[in-house]
Amino acid sequence: MIETVFTPWQSLGGGVLIGLSAVLLMLIVGRVMGATGVLTGIFAPASTADFSWRVALLLGMVTGPAVFWLITGGMPEITVPASMPMLLIGGGIVGVGVTYGSGCTSGHGVCGMARFSPRSIAATLTFMATTAATVFVVRHVIGA
């Protein structure tokens, strides 16, 4: 197990930025800021304009670490406790889950909950519960 430092202000600030970007996207193109929806829409775009805003947004997202580096002079801390095989298995499971569940932490957990959507509230409570259960099993039952 890896200890991480409790960062309430930094995390709150990051959360406000995430929220701000969601509000701006709704103001500009009238769309939900859901990573799953933005990404999967690229593979079946409704129009050229639809393809274009998704690409612009994703390119911007990927620039995040560079902005972090410009501000702090260092790369963001990323520590991956999972082994490469588990990371690949986890990635595949996430892909299947968000497709059937029609969204993820950003789409349901932030945008949907902020609209008080019953579907998003149900989805968020469900994945938070299964994530917690999975972490418990991996760390305390299997003991990885």
Partner 1 sequence: MRFIIIYLVGVIFGTGIVVSGMANPAKVINFFDVAGTWDPSLAFVMGGALITTAIGYRLVFGRSRPLFEGKFMLPTARNLDARLIGGSAVFGIGWGIAGFCPGGALPALGTGRIDVIAFVGAMLIGIFAARHLQSLSRPKAQAA
Site for partner 1 in 60-119 (CB under 8 A): 60-68, 75-82, 84, 86-115, 117-119
Cα dihedral across residues 135, 101, 77, 5: positive or negative? negative
Per CB under 8 A, 47 contacts partner 1: no
Best CA proximity match to 103, nearest among 45, 40, 44, 46: 40
CB of 73 or CB of 84, closer to partner 1: 84
CB of 73 or CB of 133, closer to partner 1: 133
Minimum distance from residue 129 beta carbon to partner 1 (Å): 7
Minimum distance from residue 133 beta carbon to partner 1 (Å): 7
- Number of residues lying near partner 1 (CB under 8 A): 116
Radius of gyration of the chain (CA): 17
Per CB under 8 A, 45 contacts partner 1: no
CA distance 119 to 121: 6
CA distance 62 to 39: 12
